[in-house]
Every structure is written in structure tokens, then in C-alpha cells.
Amino acid sequence: MPLATITLISQRMLYPAAHSTAWSGKISFNTLEQKRTTMETQKEREQVLCHKQKVMVSGATGFVGGHVIKELVEKGYEVFALVRDLEKASSIAALKNATHLHFDITKPNVKMSLPSDAIFIHCAWGNVRDTLSRKHIEEHLINNYLTIKNIVEYGIKKILITGTCYEYGLQYGPLKPSSPTLPNTPYAIAKDTLHKSLRVLQSKTHFELIWARLFYMYGEGQDEKSVVSLFDRALANGDTDFNMSYGEQLFDYLPVEVVATKIINLLSHKGGTFNVCSGTPISLRRLLENRAKAADKNIKLNLGFYEYRKQDALAIWGITDSD
């Protein structure tokens, strides 16, 4: 029996709900009423928060940061895009209604002129595609910590930082924000260490820290080498087949626009650790099949052409409750 088949069978035995198409459970009226009340309270908090609130966003020219800025502008925030390349930023439509400020995270000790009454959303990070690069530990971790430390000392009182589900490592199944972190790549180790280091900094310097662990996502502006981007290009080109892994790993995917909204909604909290996720696993194979169907395209998935990456979990999805 092929390894992919054995893996899929074990996944279905351990997590049958992840592979079913319907849910037969019942939701009580009280539960629905509680959810409605919670949503209304959340909406009220957001309306109060965005009233003339200034928000700075690093990584503004990147995949997530750009969508966060677009959403913030639409919600009425006063937005400052922190960018290393001002010329590049001026050519990006999503940033046209934001104030552009020069920001170079590789020079963390350079003093910047920032609005001290602003919230800081930190999306910047280098070499994200190469999760095995030692630069994450040797360079990016240090630069990010010093940058955040200096921004806190400057007077910023509320900071949201995008973490990653890779902090959980090879753990299997649904994970909540309070689940132990077991990072197994330099990228994940650096993110996890930054988070823990900033919690130590919090004990000495007062500021609100929101740590938002992002799961898998797709959408406009995504890296061209990501599997969803490659697949969409194959569909657009009319390709007849697409090389991929067995595609039976279970991941937690969201459109990047939804991710941006969830990040902004977290600003209503005074701190904590959160998963930014759907809470529902889907196999990569099923995700791609759904995209092909939505595009009304016929394309053969050449399953097993690539091996699974050793650093990736077989099945991981998030639980949205805060720890």
C-alpha cells in the first residue's frame, strides 16, 4: 500500500471530521445568541478603535502587509506604511492612501520619526520562502528584536506581530494558541524566540503585545513560487497537467483578504496570543481541485511527482480561541 494511502487512512481514523462533507451536530439557541452578542460587542470595539486611530504597518510592500493596509484604509484608520523602498511603495495602488515612512529593519538602531500615539502592526520579515536559512536566527531574529525594543522605548504602547503556524513544528492535528511550540526550522525557531523574548521585555517595559500566528493563505500578491500561485498560472495557461506532491497533507487555508481582516480585528484586544486561521483543515489536493472547478478548467494533478517536505507537518490546523 502506498505511503500516501496509509497516511490518508490514518488521518481519517484520527480526525474523521476533517474529511467529512457535513456535520451532524446541533447548536443550541443559547450558543447562537452568545455568538451574536459577542460579534456585536466586537463590532462596537472596532468602531471605537478606528475613530481617528493611527496605525503603522511594516512589511507594507509585502503579501500580508499590503492587504492589511488596504483593509485599514477602507475601515477609516489613519495609516502609515513603513517601507524600505519609497519609490516602490509609491507605485503600489494599495498604498496610495497611506503615508509612506522610510523603515529599514536591517538597521534597527537608526532613529526614526514615528507617531508615538500609533499602533504598530509588524508584518516585515526576510527570506520567508527559505525557512531553512540560518539568516533567520543569525540576522532576522536580532534585527527584529532590536527594532521592536526601540519602538517600545520610543513610546509605542500597542504592538501586533505576525507569527507563524510553523512555530508548532511537526505536531499533528488541531492546535490552540496555548499549545506548546516545537519549532523545527531556523525560521520557526527565530519567530518563536522573538515571541518569547518580547514577553520577557514586557515584564520590564509596559506595552501591549498581540502575537498573531498566521496559518496558510493564498491570494493576490502571493509569492509566484508558492504552489497555489503556480497552479493558478497553470490554469491560466491552459496546461493539461500539474506536478505536485500526493497532496494529502491537511492544512488550514484562508484567503489573504480574510487574514488581513482577522489581524485588524485582533487590535481590539489588549494583548495575547492568537491563531489566525479558519479552524477547518483541507488537503492541498482538494484545495487545488476546488480552484480548478471554480475556474471551470480541466487539469490532471500529477500526484506524487514531488516528495513531501520533511519540515512540514502531515496535518495541522488551528483553533481560534486565545490562550
- The candidate with the shortest Cα–Cα distance to 213, out of 262, 260, 264, 275, is 275
Secondary structure (3-state) at 9? helix
- Cα separations in angstroms, 151 against 27, 56, 191, 207, 267: 45, 11, 18, 10, 17
Environment class of 304 (CB within 10 Å of its CB; exposed 0-12, middle 13-18, buried 19+): middle
Query: Which CATH code is given to the segment(s) 36-222+253-280?
Result: 3.40.50.720
Query: What is the C-alpha to C-alpha distance for residues 122 and 162, in angstroms, rounded to an integer?
Result: 6
Query: What is the C-alpha to C-alpha distance for residues 3 and 159, in angstroms, rounded to an integer?
Result: 44
The residue ranges of every structural domain in the chain are: 36-222+253-280
Check whether 102 has a pLDDT greater than 50: yes
Secondary structure (3-state) at 150? helix
Q: Which residues pair with 152 in a beta bridge?
A: none
Query: What is the reported pLDDT for 316?
Result: 97
- Model pLDDT for residues 44-98, shown as the tens digit of each residue: 555 445 557 999 999 999 999 999 999 999 999 999 999 999 999 999 998 999 9
- Model pLDDT for residues 151-190, shown as the tens digit of each residue: 999 999 999 999 999 999 999 989 999 999 999 999 999 9
Confidence category of residue 38, pLDDT binned at 50, 70, 90 = low
Confidence category of residue 274, pLDDT binned at 50, 70, 90 = very high
193-211: average pLDDT: 96
72-103 exposure pattern, b = at least 16 Cβ within 10 A, e = fewer? bbebebbbbbbbbeeeebeebebbeebebbeb
Check whether 271 has a pLDDT greater than 50: yes
pLDDT over 70, % of the chain: 83
- The candidate with the shortest Cα–Cα distance to 145, out of 186, 197, 104, 107, is 197
- Tell me if 79 sits within 8 A of 98, measured CB to CB: yes
Query: What is the reported pLDDT for 173?
Result: 85
Confidence category of residue 16, pLDDT binned at 50, 70, 90 = very low
- Alpha-carbon torsion angle 124, 126, 129, 134, nearest 10: -140
Place of cell 489566525: 276
Lowest-pLDDT choice from 101-110, 140-149, 302-311: 101-110
Query: What is the reported pLDDT for 51?
Result: 56
Query: What is the reported pLDDT for 13?
Result: 34
Q: Is the pTM of this model over 0.75?
A: yes
Check whether 35 has a pLDDT greater than 70: no
The contacts of residue 323 (CB under 8 Å, 6+ apart) are 176, 177, 178, 272, 273
